[in-house]
Structure 1
Amino acid sequence: MAGAESPRTTPFSTHWGTYHAEVRDGRVTAVRDYARDPDPALIGHGIVEALDHPTRVGRPMIRKGFLEHGHRSDRTGRGREPFVAVPWDEALDIAASEIARIRDSHGSDAIFAGSYGWASAGRFHHAQSQLRRFFNLVGGHVQAIDTYSYAAISATMPHVTGPFRDILDGATSWPVIAEHSSLVVMLGGLARKNAQVTSGGVGQHTMREWLLKAHARGCQFVNISPIRSDAISGLEAEWIAPRPGSDTALLLALCHTLLAEGLEDRAFLDRCTVGMDRFEAYLRGDADGQVKDADWASGITGVEPETIRALARRMAKNRTMITIAWSIQRADHGEQPGWAAVTLAAMLGQIGLPGGGFGIGYGSENGIGNPVLPFKFPAVPQRLNPVREAIPVARISDALLHPGEPYEFNGTRRVYPDLRMVYWTGGNPFHHHQDLNRLVRAFHRPETVIVNEIWWTATARHADIVLPATTALEREDIAMTHWEPLIVAMRKAIEPVGESRSDHQIFAGLARRFGVEEAFTEGRTEEEWIEHLWNQSRQRAAEAGFELPSLAELREREMVELPPNPREPILYDSFRTDPEGAPLETPSGRIEIFSERVAGFGYDDCPGHPAWIEPREWLGSPKAERFPLHLVSNQPKTRLHSQLDPGGVSRASKIKGREPMTMHPEDGAARGLKDGDVVRVYNDRGACLAGLILSDKVRRGVVQLSTGAWYDPIEPFGMCKHGNPNVLTADRGTSRLGQGPSAHSTLVEVERWDGPLPPVTAFDPPPIIGRD
């Protein structure tokens, strides 16, 4: 008997790593990690089961009530009614008819076209670009501003140091930190699980390797987080665990200690900053009578005063890098801790020095800290959007529920548009948005909801029209991003599952019905688009002194690794050297510790300098008497957001089918709980089930429940039986400046679930019926 045929291998890239898929008999049977990745992510292997999982959307689907009654159907049927499979032409005809009806009756500013951009690492099959290109050709659309990841701090930093992108792309590199830093103070930690991902693709996961090199050289680390494991093992990091949401008070006390003990760098402050006098007056308590010293901060943070003072002295004595995780600004008044941390770094006077200063987002994405390439790869052109209206990304429920209501955002007064349609692709708002019961009500309001989706996510279940999309393994593409030197020829591994089509094919079909197919495709096939983008990449690379192979050669070689940028960046080194000749893009050209512009907005929830403003929900608030545990809903380690939750890697982490939640053993004992229990986590907004892990790796009074478990309510607006923490989180803006999400300002209580354990049905398709 002849031996079994060897599987065919196919390269592909994802936002969490690069792999080879093993394909046998038309199915992916395994994936292999990129051989040169020193610290591969866990996530990628989960794609094997997910590709042909029963929850794949196999055919175009229309909600039964919508198919029968159109936009006059009962919209509360979204999320509970069965679906009917229809042919592609009928689905596209109905979708195009609805887009045209709403555009012609209410205007293009009644259409919200949403995409969060994490759908594919491929350069051409980028869902957001395809969606925006189509809608911009047929009249435009309302789109979202900024990201859930860092909306508060990206709104703040342009007023303080200049464009936020400069901080991300110009971050002091890991090799510089490893060689020069003697103390790294990690606000929110540097979690290995978060550094698994980079938007656009990952070649080599580098953070752990560089941190261990820094440690071997003698660099010391301080992890300021309610979670001990936010610092990787092997660093021997000191753990300081303030109450969640109190980081700003701790930072202000560190600043006060520097001043009180004469440890600030006055020369740097005078040369490179403005507004220090106003901030000093605040620290002294000139206006409110409260000195912001370590004793004051101890009462807020729960950290001993001498611990705070000792840390300030260590930071002044050493070459200190302050790292700021994106997580700490996803909270009430999330603009403040980042601004305070930059101010602290300015007072230390090490901004622009090798291994000193600050960085925002280290560990939040693998790419931050990698030297960026000296050229930008091309993207699918989105064309000009005729609609000028846009809303902050985390305010989608507000916009749907309160059309016509005014709101303030970053110095502007705006009005929520009257949105009659939602078209979503490349994202799952029922993962990343807060207060999901409120989002369900919001999704009941539009006349029409259309979704391009791979799997039956909660977003697809709450749609009227669902168009099945392909995965990255079912089409050709190229992965290339300026944060990674690795370029990957993403090859088609398998045929599209069911009747799924790429987003480009879907929008080309819609464009045909509007008479703009030629403008949308520019007469190119998908293969010709990929070659066009690659040829543009070759030209840009050649102008920067890099030689790229032909597309055929790239595919033959599978991957190309560019030589590293010879210049290791140091954030704001040119500015430090010559503040007059290389000013920052702020009104003063300097670091604005006090911003006249922000102060001029008149926001009581975001004044003109870093300030302690008590969160609406935290362990120091009256609400803690009823809900005495602070929920940290951080990023998972077994998936990217909610992606691949049906896959084997994510499902293996569950406890009795529920998302795991970590609690301190003393908090568990006080409630009669034991390891492995299924517990009910609840507050006034909702409830969910979770599987319990007891561990002293979390601070007392804190529970940690990662995001991304697929929303699975026991009934409409009922308890999520799977463990999605966003049924608990508050849907309110960080402040009028940033209007970011404030998920990390959430209090809960926990009790054992003693009733019958309801089955998890998140991974079962919704009812699909035939036509009457």
Structure 2
Amino acid sequence: MSGGDGFTATHWGVYRPRVADGRLTALDPAPWDAAPSAIGRSVVDGIDAPARIRRPAVREGFLRHGPASRDGRGREPFVELSWDEALDLAARELDRVRREHGNAAIFGGSYGWASAGRFHHAQSQLHRFLNCIGGYTAHSDTYSLGAGRVLMPRILASMDDLMLSQTAWSSLEKHCELFVAFGGLPARNAQVGSGGASDHLVKPALGRLAAAGVRFVNVGPVRHDLDDVAGAEWIAIRPGTDTAFMLGLAHTLVTDGLADGDFLARCTVGYGEFRRYLTGEADGVAKDAGWAAAIAGVAAETIVTLARRMAGNRTMMNLAWSLQRAVHGEQPFWMGVTLAAMLGQIGTPGGGLGVGYSVMNTMGSGRRRVTGPRLPQGRNPVDTAIPVADMLLNPGASYRYNGQTRRYPDIRLVHWAGGNAFHHHQDINRLVRAWRRPETVIVQDPFWTAQAKFADIVLPATTALERDDIGGATGDRFLVWMARALDPVGEARDDHAILAGLARRLGVEDAFTGGLTTEEWLERLYEECRFNAPVPLPDFRSFLAAGLAEIPLVEPEKILLQAFRADPDGSPLPTPSGRIEIGSAIIAGFGLPDCPGHPVWRDPADHPGLAGDDGPLHLLSCQPATRLHSQYDHGAVSRESKIAGREPIRIHPGDAAARGIGDGDVVRVFNRRGAFLAGAVLTDGIRPGVLQIATGAWYDPVDPATDGSLDAHGNPNMVTPDTGTSALAQGCSAQSALVEVERFTAPLPPIRAFQPPRFVGRP
């Protein structure tokens, strides 16, 4: 198929590919993009780098001995096979497991960031295929937002609704006076969008707000998390103490008579019980500014002054998603909603609450909700689903989740397309042990990530530039025709073609493909999107010719919860009471000690999942500026950011001096879970006692044959805890890692993360 201007959409921007002699020479940012991401440059050298999977491959031990050899995962060489041989082997394993153990024994692992393309969306393709063969065990929630996705529908609204309804930047520019960012507002995160980022909004918007006189306050341990606003104030609280800090603000509002009683009475439930906790009437401990200051590590006067400023100005509060990726991660989100309700500015122009303004590019775009094309996944006959948490090591064990008692399934086969569990999951040494439990692991991916190297059957998938597709995120500016620009590298095939080949062998090809070609699917999905869109869109052929379809802005300016504020009875929230639930009778009824029925402070040190952690430094793992998650870590932009080939880590000069560490030194970061190497960056833009490193460095064990090996490359999940936020949500707790750091004086191990595995001939 052909297209208009030859654009392609990636999660981090829209580009025009330049191709010479069949090779990609450049990706030129779209001319309308005021703040294009540099990550596109990584695709140029990364797309056909040595890390590219070029042919189907099977682990040698699996080819010889089948599942009995699973201890060899991550240690053994691979044998390259023909497509027919590899697909025959994968189909036999899928069929064997579903016949012998049932479809619940198949885990359909995938993550939604594999491609901005909406048809060649690996997660949707895999789940559709697995539903066609009888279903699979799925995951619920995400590593990014596990606690928030469970909590917020109970107390305010679903995260999807909140993300699509955030107050527009244009409203903030006109009406906001004070922007308080809990956890910072890093524009680096907003480079990306789930279906593409066609016009980068956040960095220019922050500049316009600052020029309009909006004052910014960054509440968090890292000044660099609000570097994009010159002159932003920084209140450097201890990591994980946001809930206590907000309780101190709330107590000041009460004692100063600044809490909005009318809004609380009209629009909330449960405030009375929470107020008794806040003032100490319930437990004898007043959560005042002095109490909060001792926990957060700041002056009490700082808390009192900020509370009064927030009440005296049109104030937007923003909660970074990172706040809930910690033990008791539900509490800062719940307390943030409560504090915003007490200020009484929810639903006002320029004021109220935001949840993740800088998380993705579409936040605050003000555009209509045009849901991009979606591949129907069908119905999963298996009702087993797990939160993004521990499973493989505990088949049959019970756990609490969202008010239910569930049991982990006995997973015998993992089929993964898109994503990299060795990036996302915590406590990698524990993951390695768990990963060797299933009988078979099948991975589809373009690159030899650690997950592919720890697989049994590896199927090479194409990248977005090697196929036709349609990109577009809900709330983004454009739908984009992604015309194929390159021939597939090696023998790579589209995920759809791979799964169609498996479906043919398992007798469900017609059900999977729907009797349509890829070209017919693209037209069908686009026309369905056009039919359902609340704005006019061109027909498919016109869209194809133009290469773009623009989504108009919303008029008037979008304001989160404006209708609810004006008429809580006529426009109720989708909560059990229809109001903001400062107190939740349902959550209280679950009887969970670590998540009672209203916001509370729980000391992270009391969490059983952190027992034995005694490092003096708190490690924070943030989203990277030079890649999306672990995607294209092997590309030029990411590699250029490394220090001696290792991921950079921020250290306060005082902490570094106490340990004899200089700027640019390679350091070893460690705790009882494991250890990794990183390159030291000394900065006073981080609170003493805190370290910060980006996630996404490809796992690179120095000695793959030895469990617990040092990671040479800088993967922070070597030391992060694999424990749930609470029994309510069981979310990710990566931000609750305590570590020690020391200068690494031994010879530096080589970086082998971007090399393919060793190949041997057929046994």
Whether TM-score is above 0.5 comes out as: yes
Structure 1 stretch 673-682 or stretch 365-374: which is displaced more? Answer: 365-374
**Residue from 111, 136, 152 that aligns with 2:131:** 136
Provide the residue aligned with 2:24 in structure 1.
28
**Residue from 695, 699, 723 that aligns with 1:707:** 695
C-alpha contact (below 8 Å) 1:10/1:23 kept by paired residues: no
In 2, the alpha carbon distance for the partners of 1:441 and 1:376 equals: 40
Provide the residue aligned with 2:98 in structure 1.
103
Provide the residue aligned with 1:17 in structure 2.
13
Provide the residue aligned with 1:489 in structure 2.
481
1:464-479 map, 5 Å: 464-479=456-471
Provide the residue aligned with 2:569 in structure 1.
580
Q: Secondary structure of 2:622's match?
A: coil
C-alpha contact (below 8 Å) 1:112/1:422 kept by paired residues: yes
1:219-230 map, 5 Å: 219-230=214-225
C-alpha contact (below 8 Å) 1:9/1:21 kept by paired residues: no
C-alpha contact (below 8 Å) 1:658/1:690 kept by paired residues: yes
Q: Secondary structure of 1:721's match?
A: coil
Q: Deviation per CA, 1:480-513, whole angstroms, max 9, x where unpaired? A: 2221121211011110000000100000000000
Q: Deviation per CA, 1:140-198, whole angstroms, max 9, x where unpaired? A: 00000011111101211111113222211111111111111100000111101101111
C-alpha contact (below 8 Å) 1:374/1:565 kept by paired residues: no
Provide the residue aligned with 1:121 in structure 2.
116
1:648-687 map, 5 Å: 648-687=636-675
C-alpha contact (below 8 Å) 2:164/2:369 kept by paired residues: no
In 2, the alpha carbon distance for the partners of 1:11 and 1:617 equals: 52
Q: Deviation per CA, 1:242-262, whole angstroms, max 9, x where unpaired? A: 100000000000000000110
In 1, the alpha carbon distance for the partners of 2:21 and 2:547 equals: 22
Q: Secondary structure of 2:492's match?
A: coil
* % identical aligned pairs: 55
TM-score under structure 2 length normalisation:
0.97
Q: Deviation per CA, 1:398-429, whole angstroms, max 9, x where unpaired? A: 21100000000010110000110111111101
**Residue from 736, 740, 744 that aligns with 2:731:** 740
Matched, 1:72 2:61: no
C-alpha contact (below 8 Å) 2:370/2:475 kept by paired residues: no
Q: Secondary structure of 2:340's match?
A: helix
Q: Secondary structure of 1:322's match?
A: strand
CA drift of 1:546 comes to 0.9
CA drift of 1:648 comes to 0.4
C-alpha contact (below 8 Å) 2:199/2:477 kept by paired residues: no
Provide the residue aligned with 1:416 in structure 2.
408
Matched, 1:269 2:264: yes
Provide the residue aligned with 2:45 in structure 1.
49
In 2, the alpha carbon distance for the partners of 1:669 and 1:496 equals: 51
C-alpha contact (below 8 Å) 1:599/1:608 kept by paired residues: yes
Q: Secondary structure of 1:20's match?
A: strand
In 2, the alpha carbon distance for the partners of 1:714 and 1:257 equals: 52
Structure 1 stretch 319-328 or stretch 483-492: which is displaced more? Answer: 483-492
**Residue from 689, 708, 731 that aligns with 2:722:** 731
C-alpha contact (below 8 Å) 1:208/1:232 kept by paired residues: no
C-alpha contact (below 8 Å) 2:535/2:552 kept by paired residues: no
> Which amino acid in 1 is paired with 2:407?
V
In 1, the alpha carbon distance for the partners of 2:292 and 2:186 equals: 26
CA drift of 1:42 comes to 2.0
1:528-567 map, 5 Å: 528-541=520-533, 544-551=534-541, 553-567=542-556
In 1, the alpha carbon distance for the partners of 2:48 and 2:442 equals: 23
**Residue from 666, 679, 692 that aligns with 2:680:** 692
In 2, the alpha carbon distance for the partners of 1:107 and 1:568 equals: 51
C-alpha contact (below 8 Å) 1:473/1:493 kept by paired residues: yes
Q: Deviation per CA, 1:445-495, whole angstroms, max 9, x where unpaired? A: 000000001111000011000000000000000112221121211011110
Q: Secondary structure of 2:429's match?
A: helix
Show structure 2 runs of 5+ residues with no match. Answer: none
Q: Secondary structure of 1:401's match?
A: coil
C-alpha contact (below 8 Å) 1:617/1:746 kept by paired residues: no
C-alpha contact (below 8 Å) 1:55/1:763 kept by paired residues: yes
Runs of 4 or more, structure 1, over 4 Å off, are 621-624
Matched, 1:218 2:209: no
C-alpha contact (below 8 Å) 1:149/1:326 kept by paired residues: yes
Residues 484/666 of structure 1: CA separation in 2 closer, same or farther (3 Å cut): same
Provide the residue aligned with 2:339 in structure 1.
344
Matched, 1:753 2:763: no
> Which amino acid in 1 is paired with 2:497?
Q
C-alpha contact (below 8 Å) 2:98/2:106 kept by paired residues: yes
1:601-640 map, 5 Å: 601-616=590-605, 626-640=614-628
Provide the residue aligned with 1:244 in structure 2.
239
Provide the residue aligned with 1:4 in structure 2.
none
> Which amino acid in 2 is paired with 1:520?
F
Q: Deviation per CA, 1:613-651, whole angstroms, max 9, x where unpaired? A: 010389xx9967x41111011111000000001100000
Provide the residue aligned with 1:5 in structure 2.
none
C-alpha contact (below 8 Å) 1:332/1:616 kept by paired residues: no
In 2, the alpha carbon distance for the partners of 1:138 and 1:349 equals: 52
C-alpha contact (below 8 Å) 1:62/1:86 kept by paired residues: yes
> Which amino acid in 2 is paired with 1:275?
G
C-alpha contact (below 8 Å) 1:13/1:122 kept by paired residues: yes
1:489-528 map, 5 Å: 489-528=481-520
Matched, 1:643 2:639: no
> Which amino acid in 1 is paired with 2:569?
E
TM-score under structure 1 length normalisation:
0.96
In 2, the alpha carbon distance for the partners of 1:343 and 1:293 equals: 16
Matched, 1:593 2:585: no
In 1, the alpha carbon distance for the partners of 2:485 and 2:585 equals: 56
**Residue from 410, 422, 433 that aligns with 2:425:** 433
Q: Deviation per CA, 1:315-344, whole angstroms, max 9, x where unpaired? A: 000011000110111000000001101100
Q: Secondary structure of 1:169's match?
A: helix
Structure 1 stretch 709-718 or stretch 674-683: which is displaced more? Answer: 709-718
Q: RMSD over aligned Cα, in angstroms?
A: 1.4
- The count of residues paired between Structure 1 and Structure 2 equals 755
**Residue from 752, 755, 759 that aligns with 1:764:** 755
C-alpha contact (below 8 Å) 2:186/2:228 kept by paired residues: no
Q: Secondary structure of 2:574's match?
A: coil
C-alpha contact (below 8 Å) 1:148/1:432 kept by paired residues: yes
Structure 1 stretch 564-573 or stretch 300-309: which is displaced more? Answer: 564-573
Residues 676/386 of structure 1: CA separation in 2 closer, same or farther (3 Å cut): same
> Which amino acid in 1 is paired with 2:582?
I
C-alpha contact (below 8 Å) 1:617/1:747 kept by paired residues: no
Structure 1 stretch 160-169 or stretch 39-48: which is displaced more? Answer: 160-169
Structure 1 stretch 530-539 or stretch 473-482: which is displaced more? Answer: 530-539
CA drift of 1:234 comes to 3.6
C-alpha contact (below 8 Å) 2:172/2:349 kept by paired residues: yes
1:254-403 map, 5 Å: 254-393=249-388, 395=389, 398-403=390-395
In 2, the alpha carbon distance for the partners of 1:45 and 1:555 equals: 26
> Which amino acid in 1 is paired with 2:521?
W
Q: Secondary structure of 1:611's match?
A: coil
CA drift of 1:9 comes to 8.0
C-alpha contact (below 8 Å) 2:368/2:552 kept by paired residues: no
CA drift of 1:565 comes to 2.3
Provide the residue aligned with 1:3 in structure 2.
none
